[in-house]
Amino acid sequence: MSRHYTLHSAASPVGRIDYAAELNAQQLAAVQAAPGPALVIAGAGSGKTRTLTYRVAWLLEQGVAPASILLLTFTNKAAREMLERVAAVVPGGADEIWGGTFHSIGNRILRRHPEAVGFRPGFSIMDREDQEDMIEAVVAREGLRTPDRRFPKGGVLAEIFGLAINCGQTIPAILAERYPYFLPVEEQIHRVAMTYEGRKKEANSMDFDDLLAKTLELFTTNAEIAARYQRQFQHVLVDEYQDTNRLQAELVEAIAAQHGNVMVVGDDAQSIYSWRGANFENILRFPERHPDAEVHKIETNYRSVPEVLELANAAILGNERQFPKALRAVRPASGLKPALVPLATNNAQAAFVAQRILELNEEGVDFREIAVLYRAHYQSLEVQLEFTRRGIPFAITSGLRFFEQAHIKDVAAFMKFSVNPRDEVAFKRMVKLLPGIGAKSAETLWSLAASGKTEDLRRAKVPAKAQKAWDQLVHTLAELRPGEAALPPAAMIESVLFAVYDDYMRTKFPNYDARREDLNTLQNYAKQFASTEEFLAQLALLGAVETGDALAAGRDDDDKVTLSSVHQAKGLEWRAVFVVWLADGMFPTSRSLERDEDVEEERRLFYVAVTRCKDELYLTYPELRLNAGYGEAFQRPSRFLNELPEELYEAWEVSAGPTEYSPRPGGSPRIEGQADEPW
Just list the catalytic residues.
Answer: 48-49, 239-240, 270, 612
C-alpha to C-alpha distances, 569 to 95, 268, 398, 577, 579, nearest whole angstrom = 32, 17, 8, 11, 11
- At residue 544, the 3 state secondary structure works out as helix
Q: What would the 3-class secondary structure string for 220-284 be?
A: HHCHHHHHHHHHHCCEEEECCHHHCEHHHHHHHHHHCCCCCCEEEEECHHHCCCHHHCECHHHHH
- Residue 661 has φ and ψ, to the nearest 5°, of -100, 120
Q: How far is residue 329's CA from residue 100's CA, in Å, rounded to a whole number?
A: 32
Q: Which residues of 155-171 are buried (b: 16+ CB within 10 A; e: fewer)?
A: bbbbbbbbbbbbbebeb
Sequential DSSP letters for 341-361:
EEEEEHHHHHHHHHHHHHHHH
**E strand map for 38-168:** 38-42, 69-73, 98-101, 124-125
Q: How far is residue 210's CA from residue 218's CA, in Å, rounded to a whole number?
A: 11
ω into residue 510 within 30 of 0, thus cis? no
Closest CA to 158 of 210, 214, 102: 210
Cβ atoms of residues 492 and 418 within 8 Å: yes
What is the H or E stretch that residue 159 is in? helix 154-167
Q: How far is residue 11's CA from residue 66's CA, in Å, rounded to a whole number?
A: 10
Cβ atoms of residues 189 and 182 within 8 Å: yes
Cβ atoms of residues 678 and 347 within 8 Å: yes
CA 142 from chain centre, in angstroms, equals 34
Report the largest interatomic distance among the alpha carbons of the chain, rounded to a whole angstrom: 108
Partnered with residue 339 across adjacent β-strands are 618, 650
Cβ atoms of residues 656 and 674 within 8 Å: yes
Q: How far is residue 61's CA from residue 614's CA, in Å, rounded to a whole number?
A: 35
Q: Which residues of 116-154 are buried (b: 16+ CB within 10 A; e: fewer)?
A: ebebeeebeebeeeebbebbbebbeeeebbebeebbbbb
C-alpha to C-alpha distances, 611 to 46, 106, 310, 531, nearest whole angstrom = 11, 33, 10, 44
C-alpha to C-alpha distances, 294 to 36, 46, 287, 480, nearest whole angstrom = 8, 19, 8, 66
DSSP-derived letter for residue 487 is P
Q: What would the 3-class secondary structure string for 358-425 be?
A: HHHHHCCCCHHHEEEEECCHHHHHHHHHHHHHHCCCEEECCCCCHHHCHHHHHHHHHHHHHHCCCCHH
Closest CA to 70 of 283, 246, 251, 287: 251
Helix axes 532-544, 489-496, angle to 10 degrees: 80
Closest CA to 370 of 391, 388, 394: 394
Cβ atoms of residues 110 and 193 within 8 Å: no
